[in-house]
Amino acid sequence: MPADGGYCGSVVSAVRVAIVGAGWAACAAAVQATRSGCEVTLFEASRTAGGRARRVDVTLNGQPLALDNGQHILIGAYSETLKLTAELGVDTSTSLLRMPLTLQFPDGDGLRFPNWPSPLDALWAILSARGWHWRDKLAMLKASLQWQRSQFQCPPQQSVAQLCSSLSERVMATLIEPLCVSALNTPAERASGQVFLRVMQDALFSAHGASNLLLPRVDLGALLPDAALAWLQGQGGEVRLGTRVQAIGRTANGWTLRGDAESELGEFEHVILACPPGEAARLVQACALPCGAWLDEARGLQHEAIATIYMTVAATSPPLRLSQPMLALRASSEQPAQFVFDRAQLGGPSGLLAFVVSASSGDSASLGRQVMAQAAQQLGRHDLLHLQTIVEKRATFACSPGLKRPGMRIAAGLLACGDYIEGPYPATLEGAVRSGLEAARQLTLSQ
C-alpha cells in the first residue's frame, strides 16, 4: 500500500473491495484496485476464470486440448488490453500473432492491408482490393473521406446499413458487413452507425499498427485471466472460484455479501459487479435500492449469440492448411459462418479449424450441419469431422442505434463494470478491460 494510503486506502487499514465475477473486466478491476492499495476479494460462480472469453478443455484423438469458448480477435488498437497483459508478464510477441488486417476469402477476393502508416495502409487496401470494380473503390474512398470530415460522427439513430447506403452490395458483403459483425456482433441493418464509426476511427484511421490483427496463439485463459489472478494472489488478494454471490446488502459501513445457504462471504466498503447484466440486475434488485432507471437499462439490453464450430480432418485425410490463419467466408442464412481460423497456424494441432458464426441463431446441431456444408463448398473440403460446437447465447449485447446503456455508478460504494456499461465501444475485450480499469479508478468517487 502506498505510504500515503492512496485514494483507496489509508495508513491504518486498506479499504476492502469485493469484485463479483472473473471475466476480463473483473480481472482488470482487481488488478487496478490492488495497485491503488485496496484489499481485493474476487468471487466467481464458475470454476474457470475468463467469463465469455475463457478456456474450454476437450479431447482430440485421445489427447487433451485447450480450446476457447469462442474464437476471439484482438486488434492493434486494443491499447489498454495490450498494456495490461504486458504489465502482468504475458509475452504478447509469442502469445499473439500480429499481422496486417486481412479480409480475404478462400478464392482470394477481398482486402489485404500493407504494413504501412495509417491511413496509407487503408488507402492502398481499398485501391488494390481484389474483386472490386473501380466504382466500388471510388465509393469507398468517398465514404471514408466523408467520415473523416464529419469527425466520425453520425445521427445516433442511424444504422450501419444507412450509414453505408452509398456503397455497393459488393463492398457491403466483402468489407462492411464482415467488419460490422466481427466488431459489433450485430448485423449491419440493425447495428449502431455511431459505434461502428468509432471502431473504424480507432482501428483504421489512427495510429500505425492499430488495424493489425492480433490472433491468440494461446488459449484465452492464458492470455489474461490466469496471469491476472496469479498476480492478484501474489499481492495478497483473495480469489474464490466456484463461489456464487447470491445476495448483497447494505450495512452501516458498506456492503455484506452472502453465498449459498445464506452463508456470509464478508463485509466490504465497496462492491464492483463485474458479472453479466442480468446477474448484476438480480443482485441490485434484491437490495431494494432506488435504482429503477439503472435496472431498466440493464434489463432492456437485447443480446446476440456467437457460435464457434470446431472441426478437424480425419487422420487419413490429406493435410489441411488455409492460405491465411484467418479467412473471411461468404455468409448467408444457409451458410452462416463469417470467418474460419486455421488453428494449426496459431499453435494448435494440424487440421483443426474454428468457424465463427456471429449474431447466430438456430441450434447447435443445425449450425454444425450448415457449416460443414459451407466448408465443403467454400473450402473444397468434404472430409471434415465435427469436433464441438460452442454457443454463447448471450455473448454480447445487441449494439443497436441509439441504445441507452447502464452507467457505471449504481449507488454509493456500488459500481458495475463490463463491456455492456455505457461507453463508446461495442462488446469487445478492450471495452471490458477499459471498463474494469475505470471502475477501480472510480472507487473513491462512490464513497
- The residues pairing with 248 across neighbouring beta strands, listed in sequence order, are 257
Class of domain 16-53+220-301+404-446: alpha beta
The pLDDT-based confidence of 4 (bands split at 50, 70, 90) is very low
pTM surpassing 0.85? yes
Rg (CA), the chain: 22
Q: What is the pLDDT of residue 28?
A: 98
Q: Give 414's contacts (C-beta < 8 A, 6+ positions apart).
A: 248, 255, 270, 271, 273, 284, 287, 289, 446
What is the reported pLDDT for 67? Answer: 86
Per-residue model confidence as pLDDT tens digits over 160-215: 999 999 999 999 999 999 999 999 999 999 999 999 999 999 988 888 899 999 99
16-53+220-301+404-446 and 55-78+303-397 share one fold: no
- Cβ pair 81, 429 in contact under 8 A: yes
CB 97 within 8 A of CB 324: no
In this predicted model, what pLDDT tens digit does every residue of 151-160 receive, in sequence order? Answer: 999 999 999 9
Q: Is 111 helix (H, G, I), strand (E, B) or coil?
A: strand
pLDDT band at 317 (very low <50, low <70, confident <90, very high): confident
Report the distance separating Cα 140 and Cα 267, nearest Å: 56
Burial of 166 (0-12, 13-18, 19+ CB in 10 A): exposed
39-44 and 16-20 strand pairing: parallel
Task: Tell me: pLDDT of 269 over 80.
Answer: yes
**Average pLDDT in the chain:** 92
Topology of the domain covering 55-78+303-397: Polyamine Oxidase; Chain A, domain 2 (3.90.660)
Q: What percent of the chain has pLDDT over 90?
A: 84
Q: Please say if the pLDDT value at position 12 is more than 70.
A: no
> CA-CA distance, 125 to 34, in Å (whole number)?
44
Residue 447's pLDDT band (cuts 50, 70, 90)? very low
Question: Which residue is listed with cell 480477435?
Answer: 73
Vertex 380 angle, CA 186 and 338, to 5°: 5
When pLDDT is cut at 50, 70 and 90, the band that residue 138 belongs to is very high
With a cut of 50, say whether residue 1 has pLDDT above it.
Answer: no
Task: State how far the Cα of 15 lies from the Cα of 27, in Å rounded to an integer.
Answer: 18
Domain borders along the chain are 16-53+220-301+404-446, 55-78+303-397, 104-210
pLDDT at 434 over 80: yes
Convert the pLDDT of each residue in 326-385 to its tens digit: 999 999 999 999 999 999 999 999 999 999 999 999 899 999 999 999 999 999 999 999
